């Protein structure tokens, strides 16, 4: 199953990246590394890579910090906290398309959020999705909101796995709340930090659904275009399958290298702690 649905498509993508495959051109020629050489001078691809890096950085940092804070608040016993855990996890199980449609309705220029701001006296509320200076960050916020629940669950599991005796011993030694977090909680949840960071990095690099539904790459000249969006547009709108395969291969290599590097760095930190 893994070979058929994962390895075979990867091998086929790499092969197509070495050709000028076009569904409307019956003759497919082997072009070697020409597609990769072309990518090196492609400003649109570089722009998409920059947008993807910004979104990934925001989502990784914000979701990690927010998830840990919420997990700390929910690390208590009671039916209310059990209910809140379900509430925070709900966005994770929703379809990205459904989440995108909801947030698009909320953040359009005449959407619910801006209507509320006008009622509060804001004459010219922000254009969250139509302003090129805000659209990318609004998109990053929406993605962060959806993945936050996953981070909360992972951190909550890590917090509940910390022996209570460690906190009690630290308190007896005179450690305050911040000191207990620094010397007890933070080292003990190191594996959770590793899991969340790597998963968020991978999620950020393959963002497509939200871009397609909410902004369609706009506003303006590719303000929110990501690598995955650029691959789909090049392959199925421009019909340059070989060139799009080269983009996808570069994205795969980037995600693999960054994930491996971050994983090893954080695992080394776990050992140090």
Q: Is 84 exposed, middle or buried (0-12, 13-18, 19+ CB in 10 A)?
A: middle
Lowest mean pLDDT of 136-140, 160-164, 172-176, name the range: 172-176
Q: Specify if 25 maps to a domain.
A: no
pLDDT band with cut points at 50, 70 and 90 for residue 230: very high
Helices (H) and strands (E) in the chain, counts: 15, 0
What per-residue confidence (pLDDT) applies to 25? 83
> What confidence tens digit (pLDDT) does each residue in 21-70 have?
998 888 889 999 999 999 999 999 999 999 999 999 999 999 999 999 99
Q: Specify if 234 maps to a domain.
A: no
Q: Specify if 210 maps to a domain.
A: yes
pLDDT band with cut points at 50, 70 and 90 for residue 137: very high
Is-cis flag, bond preceding 44, omega within 30? no
Look at residue 246 and tell me whether its pLDDT is greater than 90: yes
CA distance 80 to 125: 35
Q: Which CATH number does the domain housing residue 137 bear?
A: 1.10.3720.10
Q: Specify if 43 maps to a domain.
A: no
What per-residue confidence (pLDDT) applies to 175? 84
What per-residue confidence (pLDDT) applies to 38? 94
> What confidence tens digit (pLDDT) does each residue in 171-212 have?
888 888 889 888 899 999 999 999 999 999 999 999 999 999
Q: Specify if 44 maps to a domain.
A: no
> What confidence tens digit (pLDDT) does each residue in 64-92 have?
999 999 999 999 988 999 999 999 999 99
Q: Specify if 47 maps to a domain.
A: no
Phi/psi of residue 93, nearest 5 degrees? -90, -5
* Domain extent at residue 215: 54-224+251-272
Mean residue pLDDT across the chain: 92
Q: Specify if 46 maps to a domain.
A: no
Residue of 74, 228, 77 whose CA lies nearest to 148: 74
Mean pLDDT of 96-114: 93
Which two tokens mark 13? 């993508």
CB 47 within 8 A of CB 222: yes
Look at residue 270 and tell me whether its pLDDT is greater than 80: no
Q: Specify if 27 maps to a domain.
A: no
What per-residue confidence (pLDDT) applies to 112? 92
Question: Based on the structure, what is the number of domains in the chain?
Answer: 1
């Amino acid at each position: 199953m893994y070979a058929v649905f994962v390895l075979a498509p990867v091998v086929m993508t790499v092969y197509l990246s070495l050709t000028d495959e076009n569904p409307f051109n019956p003759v497919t020629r082997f072009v070697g590394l020409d597609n990769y050489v072309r990518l090196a001078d492609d400003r649109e691809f570089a722009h998409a890579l920059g947008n993807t890096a910004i979104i990934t950085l925001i989502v990784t940092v914000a979701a990690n910090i927010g998830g840990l804070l919420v997990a700390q608040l929910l690390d208590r016993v009671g039916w209310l906290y059990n209910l809140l855990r379900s509430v925070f996890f709900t966005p994770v199980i929703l379809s990205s398309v459904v989440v995108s449609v909801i947030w698009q309705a909320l953040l359009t220029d005449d959407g619910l959020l801006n209507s509320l701001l006008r009622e509060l006296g804001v004459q010219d509320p922000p254009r969250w999705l139509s302003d090129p200076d805000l659209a990318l960050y609004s998109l990053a916020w929406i993605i962060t909101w959806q993945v936050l629940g996953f981070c909360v669950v992972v951190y909550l599991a890590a917090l509940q796995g910390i022996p209570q005796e460690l906190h009690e011993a630290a308190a007896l030694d005179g450690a305050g709340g911040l000191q207990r977090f620094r010397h007890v909680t933070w080292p003990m949840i190191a594996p959770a930090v590793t899991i969340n960071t790597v998963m968020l990095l991978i999620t950020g690099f393959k963002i497509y659904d939200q871009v397609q539904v909410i902004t369609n790459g706009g506003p303006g000249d590719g303000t929110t275009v990501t690598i995955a969006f650029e691959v789909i547009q090049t392959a199925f709108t421009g019909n340059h399958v070989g060139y799009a395969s080269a983009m996808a291969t570069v994205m795969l290599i980037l995600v693999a290298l960054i994930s491996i590097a971050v994983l090893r760095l954080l695992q080394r930190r776990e050992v140090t702690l």
